Structure 1
Amino acid sequence: MDAIGACDDELVTVQVIINPLPNTGTANNPAPFCENDPALNNTAFDLFTLLSPPVDAGGTWTDDDATGALSGNTLDLSQLVIGTYNFTYSITDANSCFNSTTVTLVIDDAPESGTVNGTAAFCEGEAPSNYDLFVLLDNEDQTGTWYLGTDNTGTAIVNPIDLSGYTAATYDFTFDVDAIGACDDELVTVQVTINPLPNTGTPTPAVFCENDLAANSPLDLFNQLSGNDIGGTWTDDDATGALTGNTVDLTRLTLGAYNFTYSITDANNCSNSSTVVITVEDAPSAGTVNATP
């Protein structure tokens, strides 16, 4: 203070204190998560792991985007959907000084390769020429590539697929969905089974003269087949009335050709048949003695 004439006073000192802000750490934001990342199954993620020290204790976490997934410093990641979320750690200390740090989590969209809902089965020679493999998946994104085999290193195929020429076997087809940015999904494999037809054998035709029918009757039709499976049924295609089970009463046949078909429908509901042709041919007649000399 300025003197007044020759009069002065002693010096007086005042202090100004600048209090430090509480330390709320430095945000260490993680890389974006894909929505199908198994890490998002964590229901007790500690947000303090996203703050680099030093971090003072005693602060409060806030759910800036009202996700409902935050409890204290614990975050239920499984409740987060695609989007960007901010969570803020704040401290007001004993000096009423305030500081805060916000961490950010990003959940990115990911493709869906789908879930297998079953298998497909067809009989050999009856498989469709335009079969959509996506029928065997649920909830898939239909942008991607199908491969023959159990991974994506096999031959790429066009879907719908022509199965009509496939022989009896079980075939694997694998779908590789297109990625969305850095997010992808696992490969998914479906199976298509081509069931073999039952073996109804190779038929051998039988030819008889009309005057030999009694000598060769009854005829076991299985003797006219080779390599056949058992369990089938014979049918009298021409309704001769001569068939009983697998035997034919040849004496009931007249001149002509007759078809008898052996059919099997197996446990896979696949059917096959083979037809045996029996032909009765005209025979010359030597006549009948009608007098004595």
Structure 2
Amino acid sequence: NTVFCKTGVALVKRTGDTTNINSLYSSATGLSLDASTGKIDVAASTAGSYWIKYQYTDKTTSCSDTTGVGIKINALPAAVTISYGNTVFCKTGVALVKRTGDTTNINSLYSSATGLSLDGATGKIDVAASTAGSYWIKYQYTDKTTGCSDTTGVGIKINALPAAVTISYGNTVFCKTGVALVKRTGDTTNINSLYSSATGLSLDGATGKIDVAASTAGSYWIKYQYTDKTTGCFDTTGSAIIIHALPTASIAYGTYCARDSAEVTLTGATGGQYTSTSGLVINKTSGTVDLAKSGVGSYWITYSFSNSDGCTDTTGAAITIHALPTASMAYGTYCARDSAEVTLTGATGGSFTSTSGLVINKTSGTVDLAKSTVGAYWITYSFSNSDGCTDTTGAAITIHALPTATIAYGTYCARDSAEVTLTGATGGQYTSTSGLVINKTSGTVDLAKSTVGAYWITYSFSNSDGCTDTTGAAITIHALPTATIAYGTYCARDSAEVTLTGATGGQYTSTSGLVINKTSGTVDLAKSGVGSYWITYSFSNSDGCTDTTGAAITIHALPTATIAYGTYCARDSAEVTLTGATGGQYTSTSGLVINKTSGTVDLAKSGVGSYWITYSFSNSDGCTDTTGAAITIHALPTATI
């Protein structure tokens, strides 16, 4: 050929004597040409027109010549793909092909294996008419201008529908009560089920169970779709049923007291039967309940009835019969304090009333004894039950007056005793907390033996009605102040300070002859008379409690002495003139040679000048003193001959 579609290969054919020649083929770029053999790879070449030059050379002479041929390669039509939406189908309905690509100038041809019902011109598959199985659909599309064609295809699988199944509900007509279960006939081992019907039928889509009671009365077609679990292919069948409405009726009773009778309130179907449990006396035809003869309690009355379709139903109502209320109550005799609770047996929730003077809680029956007037009263209790049945009962109460008394104490210091001031009931008992020493009968407090502090004393007393009460009073016991003072034995000079321990700010006093500062306690020893004294210290504390303490002081007289010397020449010695205490010591300044015991001055050995000699002495009480005298020593005249 001289014209090719761009597919396959083209082989050269030579005419003439080719036994002793070498061949060389050549052409323009774009042509996939084998230069040795002349073979053309048309599919690999570029579409277009080519001149193929053929040079053939004599192997012996090397002389060559050329010839050639012109060819044209037409492009294949643009690629087209096909699909059917799915690749797997159930054996029902049809499947239409969808082409993708430029299909404006092509002719189409569809083909497949036997068993597939395929329209060769349109590609439409009659799936329902095809045999179940797997198929390859070949699609050949040809360019209308060039006549060049290409092929593509798609694989599909057609699965058979599941084996036929039928359903039924035993009956086709139902009264609107209970449930209806489906029965399936056929191979159901590998299928999924879906049940559906019109609105009004209470149908379980998975199980096919019908809640007949919950459905609306009427005629229904139940569609059953069963699907092969493996292939997903399904088929449908169905069944028709009719649901008749139930007859309707309602009855009503109420809550009653156990007297007379109760009539039923009936709405709807008549002619039924009334029944109940044991204990309720009821007329089966009329529904009238004999309340007086029936047992107290709650009952359920059932009314059974039917309609012209032969459908039956029941309804019911509760009835409660309450016993007539009963109650009894009791109070007693009380003292006028706190409150009194009623002892109530039977019906609660009533109301309590009495005459003026008694303060009573109308709801609880509690009597406020403290606020009520003393005396005897009748209390009435009015009560009812939940059925509105009422009754009354009553009880007496007596309130006795409380005894009265008051006691009083005060604030004391911890000495002596404190008497109670009692007004009112006598013969009671006095008590307090630990630490207070009190006479239980008289109320007298031993202040000295009690522990310091504040206490509450309770006085418990009673009267001839046996009513008791308590009153109380506070008592405070303040500690006595404490202090000690100390002095000693002194010589009659300077002053003596007190050694004080404890309470300060007191007053110091003593007998005549002792000069003492009343505030500080300092004794002027020099101005006081010699002798022994008792000093008293009077003091108090912030609570106003006072006390005294004391101490002895002794003042000894100072010893007395005088000495005298004179004016001397520096020879021999000078004796002292001593009056008074002896046995003292004599001292002076440097330069004077003096005997410390005798007071004799060695004039010859002493330096010339004036000196002061001090004499230190004491007495038998250990008191010491000093005195002194001047001495002058003149130098001796000197001469030599």
Distance 1:169 1:67 in 2: 50
Alpha-carbon spacing, 1:71–1:242, altered in 2? closer, same or farther (3 Å): closer
Match of 1:253 in 2: 605
Selected match of 1:118 from 475, 487, 491: 487
Deviation at 1:89, TM superposition (A): 2.7
Distance 1:120 1:177 in 2: 24
Deviation at 1:266, TM superposition (A): 3.8
What does 1:128-207 align with in structure 2 at a 5 Å threshold?
135-140=498-503, 142-143=504-505, 159=520, 167=527, 169=529, 177=539, 180=542, 183-186=544-547, 197-201=558-562, 203-207=563-567
Distance 2:603 2:479 in 1: 80
Deviations 1:217-267 (A, max 9, x none): 5x432x1x44x3234233465486652731526465345245543211345
Match of 2:635 in 1: 282
What does 1:1-293 align with in structure 2 at a 5 Å threshold?
19=400, 21=402, 25-27=405-407, 29-35=408-414, 38-40=415-417, 50-52=421-423, 54-56=425-427, 59-63=428-432, 65-67=433-435, 69-70=437-438, 72-73=440-441, 75-91=445-461, 96-108=466-478, 112=481, 114-119=483-488, 121=490, 124-125=493-494, 127=495, 135-140=498-503, 142-143=504-505, 159=520, 167=527, 169=529, 177=539, 180=542, 183-186=544-547, 197-201=558-562, 203-210=563-570, 213=572, 217=573, 219-221=574-576, 223=577, 225-226=578-579, 228-235=580-587, 238=590, 243=595, 245-246=597-598, 248=600, 250=602, 252-257=604-609, 260-267=613-620, 269-284=622-637
Distance 1:267 1:143 in 2: 38
Distance 2:430 2:508 in 1: 49
Alpha-carbon spacing, 1:96–1:247, altered in 2? closer, same or farther (3 Å): closer
Larger relative contact order, structure 1 or 2 (CA cutoff 8 Å, min sep 6): 1
Distance 2:523 2:449 in 1: 43
Q: Where do 5+ consecutive residues of structure 2 fail to align?
A: 1-394
Distance 2:471 2:526 in 1: 63
Q: Where do 5+ consecutive residues of structure 1 fail to align?
A: 1-13, 289-293
Distance 2:587 2:517 in 1: 46
Deviation at 1:188, TM superposition (A): 5.8
Distance 1:200 1:263 in 2: 9
- What SS is found at the alignment partner of 1:55? coil
- What SS is found at the alignment partner of 2:617? strand
Deviation at 1:185, TM superposition (A): 1.7
- What SS is found at the alignment partner of 2:435? coil
Distance 1:102 1:71 in 2: 15
Deviation at 1:143, TM superposition (A): 4.0
Deviation at 1:207, TM superposition (A): 1.6
Distance 1:243 1:71 in 2: 82
The residue type equivalent to 2:575 in the other structure is D
Alpha-carbon spacing, 1:184–1:122, altered in 2? closer, same or farther (3 Å): farther
CA contact (8 A) 1:70 1:76 kept: yes
TM-score, normalised via structure 1 length? 0.57
Moved more, 272-281 or 73-82: 73-82
CA contact (8 A) 1:24 1:55 kept: no
Match of 1:5 in 2: none
Distance 1:118 1:160 in 2: 10
Distance 1:185 1:238 in 2: 61
Identity of aligned residues (%): 19
Distance 2:490 2:516 in 1: 21
Distance 1:199 1:207 in 2: 25
Deviation at 1:88, TM superposition (A): 1.9
Distance 2:463 2:617 in 1: 88
More strand by share: 2
Alpha-carbon spacing, 1:16–1:162, altered in 2? closer, same or farther (3 Å): closer
Deviations 1:161-198 (A, max 9, x none): 696x95454799876656646x2424666777776543
Distance 2:413 2:534 in 1: 28
TM-score, normalised via structure 2 length? 0.30
More helix by share: 1
Deviations 1:50-109 (A, max 9, x none): 4346514xx44332x343534644644334344432222324678552222324323246
CA contact (8 A) 1:83 1:107 kept: yes
CA contact (8 A) 1:150 1:174 kept: no
Alpha-carbon spacing, 1:87–1:184, altered in 2? closer, same or farther (3 Å): closer
The residue type equivalent to 1:282 in the other structure is A
CA contact (8 A) 1:255 1:279 kept: no
Distance 2:591 2:459 in 1: 92
CA contact (8 A) 1:174 1:189 kept: yes
